[in-house]
Structure 1
Amino acid sequence: MAVPWLVLLLALPIFFLGVFVWAVFEHFLTTDIPATLQHPAKLRFLHCIFLYLVTLGNIFEKLGICSMPKFIRFLHDSVRIKKDPELVVTDLRFGTIPVRLFQPKAASSRPRRGIIFYHGGGTVFGSLDCYHSLCNYLARETDSVLLMIGYRKLPDHHYPAIFQDCMNASIHFLKALETYGVDPSRVVVCGESVGGAVVAAITQALVGRSDLPRIRAQVLIYPIVQAFCLQLPSFQQNQNVPLLSRKFMVISLCNYLAIDLSWRDAILNGTCVPPDVWRKYEKWLSPDNIPKKFKNRGYQPWSPGPFNEAAYLEAKHMLDVENSPLIADDEVIAQVPEAFLVSCENDILRDDSLLYKKRLEDQGVRVTWYHLEDGFHGSIFFFDKKALSFPCSLKIVNAVVSYVKGI
């Protein structure tokens, strides 16, 4: 009986080493590291680890051990959370939705600013624990009461779970601001990546709600605001740049929206969008809205392929305003709160920020834009990771803090 166990023990290190070698090969064969990025070797290392863990998760999923998303979340939630002596942190549930409340301990002579935070993770990763240090920092440095919402995600939950959870928890909080010592006239909603998409969708959905305090400002950190055109200049230029490749984004999008992956090419080529819909929204989606300086690097003009009705019937909810807040009506856009938009040059979602910036400004909404030439998608996550941090990581966090403190 001892021999099989001995063989297994000897085989496991070889298996894990083999998977890591595979991840390294995949990285160097498929990944682009732009010259403008600082610390490229560090980003290569992090991306190799990311690919290694995702590959392990996919293997475990095929073996029926656990799903890839749950495996990754188990790992990042196992990191020890440090207590901050300046904050009281409380885990609550608004109905079935887990939330985490960060409150400064020091007494205040007046109600504090409130922040509602929607974390990122591409509908796959991210959690209350994963984003704890970022929210802790934002609450402490801005002297605000911050609520982070732990919405449902893949693999067990699909569209519209994220929007519903964030909307319901936000409304619950907005109706009880006095309970938490929050000034109703100074509430900011903030989100990163898919959380930025939630910010855009919720601020639009709350327009005209006279029964709730008006949101004072919105902070969108490299958000995704449309699922129509995945051939914008930044999608072409940065399609293989870590930590969000176009391939991974499309797979996550399809999984969350419960679209079969066989329609992936139709989504990439735009053939799932009817011609009349393209014509209706082209004025907002067109690459012509992207400043010329952002199209100098490796961009090829593009037009959608022939319309595929079967693909449209499968993927039409991708075009709902909750998934593509860029296409909301002018009357709605004109009433959303002022915005702070963060974009990164080496991010496939750079142009989403640029398009949304133009839409807001065209309707008279005040926009403060912060662009990082050396930034990449997901960089804010590493702001406090010491040796694994990047200059752009802390720049983004401090820019957000500075903006919020002005509210």
Structure 2
Amino acid sequence: GARPLLVLFRALSTQGRGHSIWGQNRGVLQTPTALLHSQQGHIFEKLRICSMPRFVRFMQKTLTIKKNPEVVVTDLRFGTIPVRLFQPKALTSSPRRGILFYHGGGTVFGSLDSYHNLCSFLARETDSVVLSVGYRLLPEHHYPVVFTDCLNASIHFLKALKTYGVDPSKVVACGESIGGGMVALIMQALVGRTDLPQIRAQVLIYPTVQAINFQLPSFQQNQNVPFLPLDFMITCACKYLAIDLSWKEAMLKGACIPPGFWKKYRKWLSSDNLPRRFRSKLQQPETLAPFNEAAYLETKHIFDVENAPIIADDEVIAQLPEAFLVSCEMDILRDDTLLYKKRLEDQGVRVTWYHMEDGFHGCAVLFDQKLFSFPCSVSLANAVVSYIKGI
């Protein structure tokens, strides 16, 4: 159940604390094996051999990928961007649905391999052609590389749908965590593009849609819950956006938020917009620290729409395709999902919402991982399949 799992996660999150540029919390990965790799990576980082993220990504390459005899898998490159194509083997007399998939991992972890089983499952169960995008990661690549890689790969795919046997009227964009945030950004970037097929629907699995308000209830309730504790998340955000880590505290307390900005955008960013059952009397109220102009100047790109799709203009939001949003109770990004849900609905976008009481951040990547595949991982995958097959 959800509560015992939460107790386990909070126990894990207190283990192995130390010092690193990647945060003090070590319970950030998916399995005991991955946790060990994280610990080893921190040792190598302290010895100045290599960074922790680079070591973990190297170890991820040793993961066993499940081969599905019903799906043909092809590794390709769109320019410099590695992508992986999943095509059902069964013959068909008509073009198939297409799915663009952007993996999660906080711009630090995640790969084509680590989401291979999930993408293969989506291709088989929905009878779709799936394109998984292997965008470039930290520490070598910073903003806006993830966005531009995903956007460029998506445009390339959309221009070549006939080559891959895809029906131009049945393309779905799907992403998890930071990949879900990329879905939001790419859908907005494609608004008004008449030279490309229109995306039929968007699937956002516990997406990150802002790095402005870190005082939402879910940030307070789940700040030490693996696999995305708050300190690790904000460290990844700072690293990707090239913000010095000394400004983390100002970001957490809202000292970098200009009063005029908060007055204008609190209607979309404040916990006041959350359903009542997700707000607790025990939580600390949102209270911005006194405005720090220096902090603002060093972090001001967090207020760009390219990093906060939730603050896009109403005219853009209203033109987005229908959406399927997944939220998890034990996830610091739960409230991001709920706020973006309301943002879409307020502009007349059709939204289907799937909330998992026993869900936690990162459960999608654990799909079909045998011993470590939680029931919520299977439920999430099946819910996405059901939605896609129904459109």
The two structures share one fold, judged by TM-score above 0.5: yes
Q: Does 1:143 align with 2:127?
A: yes
Counterpart of 2:258 in structure 1 is 274
Give the match's secondary structure for 1:27.
coil
CA contact (8 A) 2:331 2:360 kept: yes
Shift, 1:50, TM fit:
4.6
CA distance in 1, matches of 2:281, 2:118: 33
Asked if 2 retains the 8 angstrom alpha-carbon contact of 1:237 and 1:297, the reply is no
Q: Amino acid of the residue matched to residue 137 of structure 2?
A: K
Greater share of helix residues, 1 or 2?
1
- Give the residue type in structure 2 aligned to 1:173: F
Change (3 A) 1:332 1:71: same
Q: Tell me the CA shift for residue 62 of structure 1.
A: 2.8
Is residue 72 of structure 2 the alignment partner of residue 88 of structure 1?
A: yes
> Equivalent residues in 2 for 1:72-87 (5 A)?
72-87=56-71
Aligned-CA RMSD value: 1.8
Give percent identity, aligned residues only.
Answer: 69
The CA distance in 1 between the partners of 2:281 and 2:86, in whole Å, is 43
Q: Could you tell me how far apart the structure 2 residues matched to 1:195 and 1:45 are?
A: 17
How far does residue 170 in structure 1 lie from its aligned partner after superposition?
Answer: 0.3
Q: Which moved more, 1:129-138 or 1:72-81?
A: 72-81
Distance in 2 between residues matched to 1:326 and 1:246, nearest whole Å: 20
Aligned mates of 2:49, 2:201 — CA distance in 1: 44
How far the C-alpha of 1:286 sits from its partner, in A, is 1.2
Partner letter of residue 287 of structure 1?
A: S
What is the SS of the residue equivalent to 2:265? helix
Q: How does 1:352-367 map to 2 (within 5 A)?
A: 352-367=336-351
Per-residue CA distance 1:130-162 (angstroms, 9 max, x = gap): 111111111111100000000011010000000
Is the 2:216–2:335 contact (alpha carbons within 8 Å) kept by the matching residues of 1?
yes
Point out the more displaced range, 384-393 or 367-376: 384-393
1:47 touches 1:243 (CA, 8 Å); kept in 2? no
The aligned runs of 1:258-407 (5 Å cut-off) are: 258-296=242-280, 298-407=282-391
Are 2:184 and 1:184 equivalent residues in the alignment?
no
Residue aligned with 1:278, SS: helix
Aligned to 1:126: 110
Q: Is the 8 A contact 1:118 1:196 kept in 2?
A: yes
The offset of 1:59, in angstroms, is: 2.1
Indicate how the Cα distance of structure 1 residues 405 and 297 shifts in structure 2: closer, same or farther if over 3 A, else same: farther
- More off after superposition, 380-389 vs 150-159: 380-389
Residue 96 (structure 2) aligns with: 112
- How far is the alpha carbon of 1:88 from its aligned partner? 1.1
Q: Is 1:27 matched up with 2:14?
A: yes
Instruction: Kindly indicate whether the alpha-carbon contact (under 8 Å) linking 2:185 and 2:309 is maintained by their aligned counterparts in 1.
Output: yes
Does structure 1 residue 232 correspond to structure 2 residue 232?
Answer: no
The secondary structure found in structure 2 opposite 1:115 is strand
Structure 2 equivalent of residue 39 of structure 1? none
The question of whether the paired residues in 1 share the 8 Å contact of 2:217 and 2:271 is answered with yes
Pair 115,25 (structure 1): closer, same or farther in 2 beyond 3 Å: closer
C-alpha distance in structure 2 between counterparts of 1:113 and 1:338, whole Å: 16
Deviations 1:33-82, CA, capped at 9 Å, x for gaps: xxxxxxxxxx9996665544323212212323222111111112211223
Change (3 A) 1:47 1:300: farther
Query: 2:14 is aligned with what amino acid?
Result: H
Does the 8 Å contact 1:199/1:218 carry over to 2? yes
State the secondary structure of the residue aligned to 2:112. Answer: coil
Is 2:359–2:376's contact at 8 Å kept on the other side of the alignment? yes
Number of equivalences: 372
The answer (yes or no) to whether the contact 1:134–1:381 under 8 Å persists in 2 is yes
- Structure 1 CA distance, aligned partners of 2:34 and 2:271? 31
Using the TM superposition, give the Cα deviation of residue 278 of structure 1 relative to its aligned residue in structure 2, in angstroms. 1.0
Pair 368,308 (structure 1): closer, same or farther in 2 beyond 3 Å: same
Distance in structure 1 (CA, Å) of the matches to 2:243 and 2:13: 26
Give the 5 Å matches for 1:194-273: 194-273=178-257
SS of the counterpart of 1:75? helix
Aligned to 2:197, the other structure's residue is in SS state coil
- The answer to whether the Cα contact below 8 Å between 2:177 and 2:206 also exists between their aligned partners in 1 is yes
Shift of 1:29: 8.4
**TM-score, normalisation: structure 1:** 0.88
CA distance in 2, matches of 1:294, 1:254: 27
Q: Which runs of 4+ in 1 moved over 6 A?
A: none
* 8 Å CA contact 2:228, 2:361 repeated in 1: yes
1:344–1:377 CA contact under 8 A, matched in 2: yes
Distance 2:381 2:294 in 1: 43
3-state SS of paired residue (2:14) = helix
Deviation at 1:298, TM superposition (A): 3.7
- TM superposition shift of 1:297: 6.8
- 2 CA distance for matches of 1:102 and 1:71? 28
Give the unaligned 5+ runs of structure 2: 1-10, 18-26
- How far, CA to CA, are the matches of 1:297 and 1:74 in structure 2? 44
